[in-house]
């Protein structure tokens, strides 16, 4: 029996709807709070070979499902009805879209993740934004690296907090006495406030990574502002600065201007080992050690998928860079003279 499983996000968690080939609900829709991420995955994995569909504003779950071998599709805005200002379309709508229009959806691949089929669009936006990005960098509203004459580097982590991996990353950082900057998704930060507090109390820095790890070009200015503002509310008082990292690095001149209007500084990077694609801990470490330069901002992930390889690679990265006389600092410290 073919089933279609839609996963929607809301202001406080997730909604799941499962329908069959005829469009009939196989069971009552289920809701999971933001703190129940692991329970949600247990529920999904227990379904019989589901065809799962998420929308482009939800980049928080597909990595875990793809790593587990599930078939996951992405529904883009032009295949869906109007989304609310905050939240995705309903889980039933997503499941029904898959049932009725599966050939129009994009089947996601682990190697390209949520951006499967849209990488060229991202690259085009980045290219178009180069002049604006350069101007904003000169004005202090954008950063991709620090000074090249100082052997200081910033270790950053995206997509957390995660109930399994963020704590393991924090344990490793504590063991080496290394500071880092964590760019958190608001939905999971709202459900795991203890981890967010631990990040701040350990002397690390917090940054904004939107509420649902949305693909920014698909958002209106108001939707982007709401995602940013709601996430900031979860991080305020826990060491958060006005740092913002766009999910996937997606940007355009318009988006960068919107972010300046929201009083945010866009933090990009110049070292990316693509740990989210799970190439192996040794490969992740080797890429970082080969590409790091004075002033580098390193992009790793503590959430958004299976991050066991990142956790395993972290000691190799830290020890290798310390042996090269690099000093680890937060993004804030990297930007000071």
Residue numbers annotated as active site: 158, 301
Q: Is 323 exposed, middle or buried (0-12, 13-18, 19+ CB in 10 A)?
A: exposed
Which value, in Å, is the radius of gyration of the alpha carbons in the chain? 19
The C-alpha torsion from 134 through 136 and 137 to 139, rounded to 10°, is: 130
Residue 287 CB neighbours (<10 A): 18
Residues 328, 337: Cα–Cα separation, whole Å = 15
Residues 8, 122: Cα–Cα separation, whole Å = 24
CB 99 within 8 Å of CB 21 = yes
CB 74 within 8 Å of CB 56 = yes
Residues 328, 205: Cα–Cα separation, whole Å = 13
Distance of CA 305 to the CA centre of its chain: 9
CB 241 within 8 Å of CB 116 = no
Residue 72 makes CB contacts below 8 A (sequence gap 6+) with: 52, 53, 54, 62, 65, 66, 107, 108
Task: Of 177, 210, 182, 175, give the one whose Cα is nearest residue 196.
Answer: 182
The pair of structure tokens assigned to 6 is 């839609």
């Amino acid at each position: 029996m073919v089933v279609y499983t839609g996963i929607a996000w809301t202001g406080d968690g997730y909604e799941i709807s499962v329908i069959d080939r005829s469009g009939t609900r196989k069971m009552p829709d289920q809701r999971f709070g933001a703190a129940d991420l692991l329970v949600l995955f247990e529920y999904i994995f227990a379904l019989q070979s589901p065809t799962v569909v998420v929308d482009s504003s939800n980049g928080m779950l597909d990595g875990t499902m793809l790593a587990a071998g599930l078939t996951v599709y992405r529904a883009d805005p032009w295949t869906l009805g109007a989304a609310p200002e905050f939240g995705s379309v309903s889980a039933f709508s997503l499941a029904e879209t898959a049932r009725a229009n599966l050939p129009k959806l994009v089947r996601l691949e682990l190697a390209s993740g949520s951006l499967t089929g849209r990488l060229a669009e991202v690259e085009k936006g980045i290219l178009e934004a180069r002049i604006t990005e350069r101007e904003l960098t000169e004005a202090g509203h954008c950063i991709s690296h620090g000074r090249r004459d100082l052997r200081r580097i910033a270790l950053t982590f995206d997509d957390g907090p995660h109930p399994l991996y963020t704590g393991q990353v924090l344990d490793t950082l504590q063991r080496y006495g290394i500071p880092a900057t964590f760019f958190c998704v608001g939905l999971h930060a709202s459900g795991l406030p203890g981890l967010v507090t631990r990040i701040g109390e350990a002397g690390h820095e917090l940054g904004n990574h939107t509420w649902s790890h949305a693909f920014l070009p698909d958002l209106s200015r108001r939707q982007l502002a709401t995602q940013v503002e709601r996430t900031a509310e979860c991080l305020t008082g826990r060491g958060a600065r006005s740092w913002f990292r766009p999910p996937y690095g997606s940007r355009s001149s318009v988006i960068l201007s919107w972010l300046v209007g929201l009083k945010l500084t866009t933090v990009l990077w110049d070292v990316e080992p693509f740990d989210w694609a799970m190439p192996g801990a040794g490969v992740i470490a080797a890429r970082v050690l080969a590409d790091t330069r004075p002033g580098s901002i390193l992009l790793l992930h503590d959430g958004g998928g299976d991050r066991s390889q990142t956790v395993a690679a972290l000691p190799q990265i830290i020890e290798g860079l310390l042996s090269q006389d690099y000093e680890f600092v937060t993004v804030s410290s990297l930007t000071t003279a």
